[in-house]
Structure 1
């Protein structure tokens, strides 16, 4: 270590650091020698380990040259760390850790299982409503005031209860101490019984404190950690997400490291993102939509949608709220609404009715907290790399759920069959099998064909509200229906989590917008298969266009998208959009699409098998019981494979399932010899098994679930005997059915006592041939 004089330090600014494990400074002579040696080294900042000094003895390190001194506060001599700083050095420590925001009150979920507390809250709700309900006070103001009133009453109740419990505990402890002293001087059975009674009373008072400590210590990990629930999922999940954000880049490309400024940078980013660019004039949107032939809602559905809300709808919506979720800005959880639903539901109904008449919801209905999570494999410095999650109040969730339940009944009749996302009785597999039909069906023409996958940039956030309202009117929705929907699309305000600033206005969509894709269909030439023209497939905002003659169609598509953006606000992220020739391989909706059907197995099932092996090897180090390992297989392995079984209709050899069963057996028994046969483990729990999934049975069930339209069935049947290549996913299913179908006749032979008669005609045994070709009830289809 280099020694420098005081003059050298003052001129060149060099600071000498010394770190020294001195193994004790209690001896006066050793202490003087150490401090003198440090003076000779011209040390400016000294780090001392194992000083073995008590907190009261730290003054012994004080020296004339030391301007600042810090020492750990321990009461044992076996440890101790000290820091000495020279008086010529000015030391300023600034923490890079996030500063805590002002405390946000949250309703303790344990209060809702306390009978005394729930009774108190119920009485306060009744008292408030009886006292303040009148025709002169609007329901919205009454609701806002009720939430503030309850918040104050709950805080007051808890404070008073805690004071009484603390006082009572202190008195009991004092009485027990006095009895112990008396019992020590003069033992007696009466004193012993009295002490036991006091101790039992003390235990009852401290039970609630212990429950709170158990809740905070996540005791559920011990009791429920291996059940098939969220706790086990968190254990096996790969911990890759970084919660802390140490640095971010703002709009001027400057790096921000201060926590408060980082949060302000995010706030400004989302404020800009959610701002509207739509012009007040709606003429262009009307002209554009008038050129399209949009389907119209039927009269009955329109009348049902426009009916006034009823109390039963509201109560059903409250019951359907998912528990265990973070609450919004008002901090009232879903469990609170469920607990007091009978008292709160009439007031909420009055609020929604009043809001429809006034065309605006109460203020807290239009507030949200935004919390963020880093997207996978994204740049940590960019705000766009983080996924925003809006935490809404549960009262607005209840209202949204009621409207969504009404809408979902009639959406299938309005939204095209090309859109399968978030529509009842439509599935993701339809898009994939639609794609398989195009790729694996031979064409006699030499027409160039491509697939264009379009990525909508934050589709649910960028859709303009006026375009949405105009589109609803063009679909035939009446004003009374649109009035309900418009309540959710008034100017909202968001508050960025951990930033105690004022709310910022935003332009944000809560519900899925009915994206209008007919204009793209009018602009492109589709790919013709079996006399039908395939143009577009959508799953929510994931869009795939089937294009022939790309030299003419692609420019027309880009022009249409540009025009569509001007009226709707929907932006296409061309950096993420991909163009695929039909004979290439790509990934769509989580499935690797290949140019050859036979390659589907290698690109999907084989890859999934390797991933399963890696995951099971990683999870084998977790301290799980046998039951916990079964639940890991059910929660993580089964959904992955079931997704492939349902969406990729190909034949899989038994070797795949043998390899899969072998891998899972090795994981379950921790690479040891199995003690129970796999067939026994696969039995239901009621029959003495562990309900271990039989993956081959799941594969059969997934492929026996035929979900195709009538024209696809007819085309498949026509080509069944004339084609050696699977041109329709229906053909693939039929081949699988021939191999694995368990008819009623076959089941009756396997399990005596089963009825072999056809369930449709009830005339002859239901053999495979009868079910597909001879049954009179089925041949008519």
Structure 2
């Protein structure tokens, strides 16, 4: 099975740690310049000093490549330290300590089951003894492991090697507290360990015309065998140089890189012209394969992917060449200035630094200008921008450890294998009873498609339909395994529509899907309130390829016109002509009537289905589509989609091997909710038709249930009689369709005047006290 990894064996074996005194981050341009500079360094953990953030402002740094920003700030716009963590590093922040004076920050990181203690410091220039004494006591009580301490210590370790100009006894005295702390924790100066005889500096004082090394990264001596490099950079944006180390991880972190279409380029007119030309050239060069649209389209994606990567590389090269040239010149002039300290060398260094700063400033202005324009255009409109601002921060999907039968899985490879085995087992098909399955459908008195409905669904797909579907695709969504997002299809909609039309119609006629069409990538999200060490606590989300979703969305739009005629009115989910407000009105009407008449019997029962979409039997769906007279094209499409769908699981940045999905409607597929509605309709009809289940009477109408997909609310008048009937129907349907309810999460609520005796013995559901939830809304008892 095809995967799209830049390097299938790409393991994160090393981490890069940077420390940098940035000299203030309170202006947008400065923040942007610092972020752009850091992004180029590809560091995993970054210590920043002198952020100058006030504690009450809760300032932070945001960028796409950042996973965490943890800051310790002061009451004024001075001091301040922060630790940034790259999203490419799969880790968990276990605990933090933020110094109220904004002088230091301590965090514990779990990386591949190994704990690292990170300490970022900005020491005072005078009277530092108290600071280092407090820091020593804090770290000593912390139970630190694999200690990495970095930052601006504002002291000179070795006056001979680490400073130019004159030396005083006071300079040596001020270094003693740092030396005491280092000896106590057996810390080693990483730069001096790698460069024992090299003089280099991290700070230049214009007032004294001296160079000094006052920024350090210290690590515990037990980690020295893992230390690969330690370097000092160039003083460019602030008056301090970046310092960095590279450490070998105790346990290499496996990682899978997945290509994704660069949607930002769709605003570039040159790129638009380029990609359209690439498509035209591909069509001209492969006319002999036009009669095989499956091969033609699958190969086209591979060819276009290569052209897009080539364009990105060339686009970055121009800016990168200029950046690298200036950076190289700046480094050379800075080294010359450090070694000679002549006015000529200083002037050359200052001029080059100004050019480099201009380059970074121009880029920052361009980035901020784009952001400003976006906010100006969309800031007062209730759209995606507002939703992205107010929504909660994206949950951390990193799984720290999983419980095994004989211990714990703590490394990414074992965690990935454990989760994969769990879902491979979960997605295996269950035994089917075709006789009872058919009998259940017959008893449900299902509505069947008319000839006109069938003709609508079975008519050939047109270019107009495809263009309309592509036009309505939502941008900014995560693509499937092939990496092509909605923006790609919108860009080439006119050009590729004829190819897709032929391709899709052949699928409806019974031809197999094109290569990798049925592949999916599954990501997992932890369910609220669940144990993160149990594989069953995670909800699978399937990311499908966009070309398949265009096909299924086109058919789903057709189904929207026919399903309302064959589904019971009690179903209000995912149908354009029905609205959940209707279900809520029915609930309120029942509640009002029962309380108005002070009825002594009345109960709401909210069923919680266990992974409802993922459990539905493919055999049940196929049997149901035939039973309700769906046409040959619809049956061919279902066969293509559900005969052998494959998926790979992505956990902690690592992709598993592909495995087969043998049951469930795939979340993320536009057809999925509609197929689920069809699958669940026999259950709803059986409940409605049962002669002994009366529901609750409101006027001349008997209200029995409302349903929004797998959210089902039942109205019960006689629990002792009704609940056994309902459980019998649900259990029978479960053996046929794979449907299961979670008794521990299904809730029942007695209405205001209902007798407590209606809680029967051995009541199987949870008993709600004041309210019950339906579609996220609390329904009270009165």
Q: Is TM (by shorter chain) over 0.5?
A: yes
Q: Which residue of 1 aligns with 2:491?
A: 339
Structure with higher Rg: it is 1
Pairing partner for 1:59 from 181, 196, 217: 196
Q: Does 1:283 find its partner at 2:435? A: yes
Match for residue 643 of structure 2 among 463, 487, 490: 490
Matches of 1:225 and 1:259 in 2, distance apart?
41
Residues 1:218 and 1:385: Cα distance change in structure 2 (over 3 Å) = farther
**Structure 2 CA distance for partners of 1:294 and 1:216, relative to 1, 3 Å:** farther
Distance 1:87 1:128 in 2: 54
2:710 maps to which residue?
541
Matches of 1:19 and 1:591 in 2, distance apart? 49
TM-score, with length taken from structure 1? 0.60
Q: What SS is found at the alignment partner of 2:657? A: coil
Deviation at 1:567, TM superposition (A): 0.7
The change in CA–CA distance for 1:318 and 1:278 in structure 2 (over 3 A counts) is farther
Structure 2 counterpart of 1:79: 215
Asked if the contact 1:328–1:392 (Cα under 8 Å) also holds between the matched residues in 2, the reply is: yes
| Counterpart among 595, 598, 609 of residue 781 in structure 2 | 595
Secondary structure of the residue aligned to 1:329 is: coil
Partner residue of 2:686? Answer: 519
CA distance 1:529–1:19, shift in 2 (3 Å): closer
Residue aligning to 1:586: 771
Alignment match of 1:509 (pick from 637, 654, 665): 665
Deviation at 1:402, TM superposition (A): 0.5
Alignment match, 2:276: 122
**Mapped pair 1:412 → 2:564:** yes
Cα distance 1:210–1:330, how it changes in 2: closer, same or farther (>3 A)? farther
What is the distance in 2 between the residues matched to 1:437 and 1:386?
A: 36
Q: Distance in 1 between matches of 2:523 and 2:148?
A: 43
Return the alpha-carbon distance in structure 2 between the equivalents of residues 100 and 257 of structure 1: 13
What SS does structure 2 have at the residue aligned with 1:468? helix
Q: Which runs of 5+ in 2 are unaligned?
A: 1-144, 161-168, 204-210, 229-246, 330-354, 667-671, 755-769
**Does the C-alpha gap of structure 1 residues 209 and 105 become closer, same or farther in structure 2, counting only changes over 3 Å?**
farther
RMSD: 4.6
CA deviation map 1:705-763 (0-9, x unaligned): xxxxxxxxxxxxxxxxxxxxxxxxxxxxxxxxxxxxxxxxxxxxxxxxxxxxxxxxxxx
Partner of residue 187, structure 2: 47
Q: Which moved more, 1:108-117 or 1:123-132?
A: 108-117
1:615-662 CA-to-partner distances (Å, cap 9, x unmatched) read: xxxxxxxxxxxxxxxxxxxxxxxxxxxxxxxxxxxxxxxxxxxxxxxx
Relative to structure 1, the CA distance from residue 238 to residue 130 in structure 2 (aligned partners, 3 Å threshold; closer, same or farther) is: closer
Distance 2:590 2:361 in 1: 64
Determine if contact 2:424/2:659 at 8 Å carries over to the other structure: yes
Cα contact 1:54–1:77 (8 A) shared by 2? no
1:242 and 1:483 map into 2 onto residues whose CA distance is: 40
1:25 aligns with 157
Distance 1:240 1:337 in 2: 27
Alignment of 1:720-759 (within 5 A): none
| Deviation larger for 400-409 or 135-144 | 135-144
Q: Tell me by how many angstroms 1:570 deviates.
A: 0.8
Residue 550 (structure 1) aligned with residue 709 (structure 2): no
Deviation at 1:459, TM superposition (A): 1.3
Q: How does 1:305-454 map to 2 (within 5 A)?
A: 305-442=457-594, 448-454=601-607
Report the CA distance shift for 1:303/1:36 in structure 2 as closer, same or farther (over 3 A). closer
CA distance in 2, matches of 1:490, 1:437: 44
Equivalent residues of 2:202, 2:212 under 8 A apart: no
> Is 2:253 aligned against 1:99?
yes
Q: Structure 1 residue 138 and structure 2 residue 292: aligned?
A: yes
Q: 2:180 and 2:310 mapped to 1: Cα distance?
A: 62
Runs of 5+ consecutive residues of structure 1 not aligned to the other structure: 1-14, 62-70, 176-201, 597-781
Quote the Cα distance in structure 2 between the aligned partners of 1:36 and 1:173. 36
CA distance in 2, matches of 1:104, 1:492: 20
SS in 2 for 1:26: coil
Alignment match, 1:479: 632
**Partners of 2:155 and 2:171 within 8 A in 1:** no
Give the direction of change, closer, same or farther, for the CA distance of 1:382–1:220 in structure 2 (3 Å limit).
farther
Q: Distance in 2 between matches of 1:310 and 1:575?
A: 48
Deviation at 1:220, TM superposition (A): 7.1
Give distance in 1, aligned partners of 2:222 and 2:319.
51
**Partner deviation per Cα, 1:545-582 (whole Å, 9 max, x = no partner):** 22233222211211221111111011111111112223
Partner of 2:593, secondary structure, is: coil
State the Cα deviation string for residues 658-687 of structure 1 (Å, max 9, x = none).
xxxxxxxxxxxxxxxxxxxxxxxxxxxxxx
What CA distance in whole angstroms lies between the structure 2 residues aligned with 1:170 and 1:83? 30
Query: Shift of the alpha carbon at 1:169?
Result: 9.0
Q: Tell me whether 1:563 sits opposite 2:563 in the alignment.
A: no
Q: Greater strand share, 1 or 2?
A: 2
Which secondary structure does the structure 1 equivalent of 2:221 belong to? strand
TM-score between the two structures when normalised by the length of structure 2: 0.60
Structure 1 partner of 2:18: none
Tell me: CA distance 1:368–1:106, structure 2 relative to 1, closer, same or farther (3 Å): same
- The one-character-per-residue Cα deviations of 1:522-544 (angstroms, maximum 9, x if unpaired) are 34332222232221211111111
Greater fraction helix: 1
SS at match of 2:715: strand
Cα deviation code 1:28-62 (max 9, x no counterpart): 799999999999999695126xx8x976995279x
Residue 218 of structure 1 and its aligned partner are, at CA, apart by 6.6
